[in-house]
């Protein structure tokens, strides 16, 4: 039986992108190829908040007890090896049982499944066909992968998505919510911007780009990236979303980012989990 290392499994509303406001189950798997230490920091500097937390990691016995951070990656515990002991390895049976317990009617109705991370398209791709084909998952209608857009679909998983998922449920039932990492994240362009990979996602399901920005320079860099994605064949929508995993940072730039999106003719994505739930774990 397939297994996944699960950082979080919770029921909330989708706070971002195409499905904003839709009741959703979030399956957050462990592991990422980026650290995104630059978010919320002066250009060229990286956040040390998670290092201070890791120095006292012995104080925390549950993922939900970890402090939130105002700079760097707000889901740091889903990929930093120093916190991996807080993410159990679960079988598909265990995961689907937990999902049924989370759903308000104990079965899929209008709810949506979001597989996120970390980076969910790393090695875990091999486990998803068994998970999604489980008898308790057959009534699921809509699925999103929240990805940074750097990981190719494996041949086996791409074949499953085409032949089993999209063939039975339709192209628009599958979404790739791609958040490419701009320089504001602290990641390098040549490692973070992979247009050919994202264009390939576009062949299997509805794919859009969602850029986290804090300034006009960030928005202009996003435009440069979008041009590269378009050249590679990407045809989806583009969203701008404000930096800010805590309210104090989020409220500094959300209106400004919305105005930037309007000027570019792009869509604006809020981060509803910040004003509604203070971006607490499990939201």
pLDDT of residue 252: 58
Task: Write out pLDDT tens, residues 250-273.
Answer: 665 788 899 999 999 999 998 887
Between the alpha carbon of residue 205 and those of residues 71, 95, 174, the distances in Å are: 32, 24, 5
| Helix spans in 161-246 (H) | 167-169, 189-192, 195-204, 216-232
Residue 156 CA to residue 167 CA, distance in Å, equals 15
pLDDT of residue 149: 98
3-state secondary structure of 91: strand
Residue 175 CA to residue 96 CA, distance in Å, equals 20
Triad 216, 222, 225: Cα angle to 5°: 150
Tens of each residue's pLDDT in the chain, 283 residues: 899 999 999 999 999 999 999 999 999 999 999 999 998 888 889 999 999 999 999 999 999 899 999 899 999 999 999 999 999 999 999 999 999 999 999 999 999 999 999 999 999 999 999 999 999 999 999 999 999 999 999 999 999 999 999 999 999 999 999 999 999 999 999 999 999 999 999 999 999 999 988 889 999 999 999 999 999 999 999 999 987 654 555 665 788 899 999 999 999 998 887 777 777 787 7
3-state secondary structure of 256: helix
pLDDT of residue 240: 96
Beta bridge partners of 114: 26, 144
3-state secondary structure of 160: helix
């Amino acid at each position: 039986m397939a297994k996944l290392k699960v950082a979080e499994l919770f029921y909330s509303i989708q706070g971002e992108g195409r499905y904003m406001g839709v009741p959703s189950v979030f399956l957050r798997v462990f592991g990422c190829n980026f650290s995104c230490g630059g978010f919320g920091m002066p250009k060229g500097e990286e956040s040390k908040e998670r290092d201070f937390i890791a120095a006292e990691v012995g104080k925390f016995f549950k993922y939900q007890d970890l402090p939130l951070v105002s700079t760097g990656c707000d889901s740091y515990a889903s990929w930093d090896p120093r916190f991996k002991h807080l993410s159990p390895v679960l079988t598909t049976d265990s995961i689907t049982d937990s999902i049924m317990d989370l759903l308000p009617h104990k079965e899929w109705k209008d709810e949506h499944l979001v597989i996120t991370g970390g980076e969910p398209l790393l090695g875990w791709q091999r486990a998803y066909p068994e998970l999604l084909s489980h008898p308790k998952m057959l009534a699921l209608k809509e699925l999103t992968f929240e990805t940074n857009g750097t990981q190719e679909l494996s041949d086996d998983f791409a074949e499953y998505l085409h032949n089993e998922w999209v063939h039975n449920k339709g192209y628009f039932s599958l979404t790739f919510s791609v958040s490419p990492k701009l320089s504001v994240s602290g990641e390098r362009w040549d490692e973070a911007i992979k247009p050919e990979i994202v264009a390939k996602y576009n062949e299997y399901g509805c794919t859009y780009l969602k850029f986290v920005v804090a300034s006009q320079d960030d928005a202009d860099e996003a435009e440069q990236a979008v041009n590269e994605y378009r050249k590679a064949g990407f045809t989806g929508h583009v969203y701008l979303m404000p930096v800010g995993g805590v309210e104090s940072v989020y409220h500094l730039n959300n209106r400004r980012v919305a105005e930037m999106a309007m000027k570019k003719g792009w869509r604006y994505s809020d981060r509803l989990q910040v004003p509604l739930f203070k971006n607490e774990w499990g939201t």
